């Protein structure tokens, strides 16, 4: 994977769409950059823009966006709920793939140096781009905000990392850095009290609150033996939070930054705020996601809320996301569109999944057409999808069967395994067609000269090798599916054993069908040591599939039907 960086600049303008469009046009003008999302907040008077690309292109796009923001935004007139210190308040770079955080930090430093040198804007480094850890925290740097920075910048300890040590009244100052993925997340409350919202924020955020004697707000600050204030930590690690009032919505919110989703996931943050709010007589009405979120965060949330209900979490990706949206009220303030909010969906190449998005009739028509793809390999993979889908259905029906309430976790685990296999096999439906097309393209290469002949043969060998890998993987996954189907026949809801049997027939056909594709692509290469090993493994899997099918069908005889009647 080529190096890919995400850039999420926050501009201090959320009400004038013309200004925001002028900035985003600058970003889109850079080749190699893809604008993913624009989150314009009127109440906070702040817009969060997300774009991705290779490092050099990202730095160029970020630079001209910062330049344009400085031209169009006048901080002397800016008012908004969110803390801020400049026209481009903060500009983080985030590694997405093919690049480390340390390498991303080096690119952030290059951007910061250029902004300071060419635009004469005071620039502070933060997070992983800042070597001085005493000033690497964004909230510490931004303390005092725009209104207090004209004096703060004069202090020896607050000399900018780049640019002039004089505050720019129109453009303010900018913070540039590199960090891991951060989720900006607001939880909505049924109160307008900022004081109460802040109390909840202090309850949950990692930094907590300063300990006081008696009255927690006005009481005397408790200090340690060194005279330093004693802190009471909050309940959530890797979480920053404040309370504020949003006039546009007529409600207070807890505004959070989740800096490490593996430490505190989205759903845990939501539930904890719900608990702390309830302790203070306040109810959470919903929540709001600012910017983008990784797919896994939404899937984990969906599973979490289903398991809280003692329901099977082995449902489709689409259903898990729907459950997450409704459980956390992510659509309370505006519609939540997964295709616009989940980063993987925005990065997805739709042309790579042509087959799986066809309707059943369209897939059949395309298969029956004069086009050679989809062919037997794609159909074999889809048979595998159908087979394991039936296993998932039986597992989910078993999880909700009356009288089996104490077994829902067992069947939820089987259903989740089935969903994972279904997703993997689904990807192989299109992968097989792409592999076949690559073989055809290799055969179509010119062969007039010796060099062309060598290059053509090399391309054919490489494409053929890939065309073998895909159906071989289908065989492995479909065979694994048969093992789950056998468990469903033996242990699953007796009213659905025939469905598991049909699934086994599909999965066995997927194994044998994919095996035919492996064999046809190894013709002429049988003496090759690697190909010979693949053929041996192929034959072994074919035999295992046939034996498993026989076992499953045997178990589906009279005793199984009797079990159904007795139940």
Kindly give, in sequence order, each residue whose CB lies less than 8 Å from that of residue 201, ignoring residues fewer than 6 positions away.
241, 242, 243, 254, 255, 256
Geometric angle at alpha carbon 368, from 367 and 372, rounded to 5°? 60
93 neighbors 101 (Cβ within 8 angstroms): no
Give yes or no: 432 in active site.
yes
Give yes or no: 82 in active site.
yes
Compute the distance between CA of residue 277 and CA of residue 42 in angstroms, rounded to an integer: 26
Compute the distance between CA of residue 132 and CA of residue 324 in angstroms, rounded to an integer: 39
Cross-strand pairs, 244? 253
Catalytic residue, candidates 168, 203, 432, 499: 432
* 253, two tokens: 């919110």
506 neighbors 393 (Cβ within 8 angstroms): no
Compute the distance between CA of residue 304 and CA of residue 274 in angstroms, rounded to an integer: 15
Find the DSSP H helices in 355-496: 360-368, 376-399, 408-443, 450-491
Q: How many CB atoms lie within 10 A of CB 414?
A: 23
Catalytic residue, candidates 82, 89, 203, 271: 82
For residue 233, what are the CA distances in angstroms to 133, 237, 238, 240?
20, 9, 12, 12
Strand 174-178 relative to strand 123-127: parallel, antiparallel, unpaired? parallel
* 491, two tokens: 């242990």
* 136, two tokens: 């690497």
Compute the distance between CA of residue 510 and CA of residue 377 in angstroms, rounded to an integer: 9
Tokens 């690690």 appear where? 237
Catalytic residues: 82, 432
């Amino acid at each position: 994977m080529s190096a890919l960086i995400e850039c999420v600049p926050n501009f201090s303008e959320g009400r004038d769409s013309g200004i925001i469009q002028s900035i985003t046009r600058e970003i889109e003008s850079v080749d190699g950059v893809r604008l993913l999302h624009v989150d314009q907040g009127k109440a906070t008077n702040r817009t969060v823009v997300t774009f991705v690309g290779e490092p050099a292109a990202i730095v160029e796009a970020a630079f001209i966006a910062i330049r344009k923001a400085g031209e169009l935004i006048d901080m002397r007139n800016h008012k908004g709920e969110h803390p801020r210190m400049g026209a481009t308040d903060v500009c983080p770079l985030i590694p997405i793939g093919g690049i480390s955080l340390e390498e991303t930090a080096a690119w952030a430093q290059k951007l910061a140096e250029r902004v300071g040198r060419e635009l004469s804007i005071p620039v502070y480094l933060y997070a992983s781009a800042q070597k001085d850890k005493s000033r690497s925290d964004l909230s510490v740097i931004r303390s005092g905000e725009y209104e207090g920075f004209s004096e703060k910048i004069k202090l020896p300890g607050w000399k900018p990392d780049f640019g002039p040590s004089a505050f720019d009244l129109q453009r303010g100052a900018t913070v540039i850095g590199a960090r891991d993925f951060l989720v900006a997340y607001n939880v909505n409350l049924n109160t307008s009290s900022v004081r109460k919202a802040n109390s909840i924020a202090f309850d949950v955020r990692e930094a907590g609150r300063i300990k006081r004697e008696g009255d927690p707000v006005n009481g005397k600050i408790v200090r340690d033996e060194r005279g330093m204030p004693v802190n009471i930590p909050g309940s959530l690690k890797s979480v920053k939070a404040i309370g504020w009032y949003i006039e546009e919505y007529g409600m207070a919110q807890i505004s959070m930054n989740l800096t490490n989703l593996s430490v505190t996931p989205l759903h845990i943050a939501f539930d904890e705020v719900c608990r702390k709010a309830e302790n203070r007589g306040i109810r959470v009405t919903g929540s709001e996601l600012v910017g983008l979120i990784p797919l896994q965060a939404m899937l984990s949330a969906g599973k979490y809320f289903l398991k809280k209900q003692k329901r099977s979490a082995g449902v489709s990706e689409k259903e898990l996301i729907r459950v997450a949206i409704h459980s956390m009220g992510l659509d309370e303030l505006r519609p939540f569109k997964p295709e616009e909010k989940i980063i993987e969906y925005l990065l997805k190449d739709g042309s790579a999944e042509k087959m799986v998005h066809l309707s059943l009739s369209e897939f059949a028509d395309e298969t029956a057409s004069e086009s050679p793809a989809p062919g037997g390999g794609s159909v074999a993979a889809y048979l595998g999808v159908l087979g394991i889908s039936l296993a998932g259905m039986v597992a989910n029906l078993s999880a909700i069967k009356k009288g089996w309430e104490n077994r829902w976790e067992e069947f939820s685990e089987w259903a989740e395994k089935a969903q994972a296999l279904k997703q993997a096999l689904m990807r192989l439906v299109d992968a097989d067609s792409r592999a076949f097309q690559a073989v055809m393209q290799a055969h179509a290469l010119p062969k007039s000269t010796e060099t062309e002949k060598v290059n053509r043969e090399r391309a054919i060998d490489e494409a053929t090798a890939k065309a073998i890998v895909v159906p071989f993987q289908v065989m492995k996954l479909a065979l694994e599916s048969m093992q789950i189907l056998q468990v469903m026949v033996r242990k699953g809801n007796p009213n659905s054993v025939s469905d598991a049997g049909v699934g086994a027939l599909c999965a066995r056909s997927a194994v044998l069908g994919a095996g035919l594709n492996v064999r046809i692509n190894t013709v002429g290469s049988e003496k090759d040591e690697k190909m010979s090993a693949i053929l041996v493994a192929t034959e072994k899997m074919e035999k295992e599939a046939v034996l498993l099918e026989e076992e499953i069908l045997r178990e589906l005889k009279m005793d199984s039907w009797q079990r159904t009647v007795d139940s």
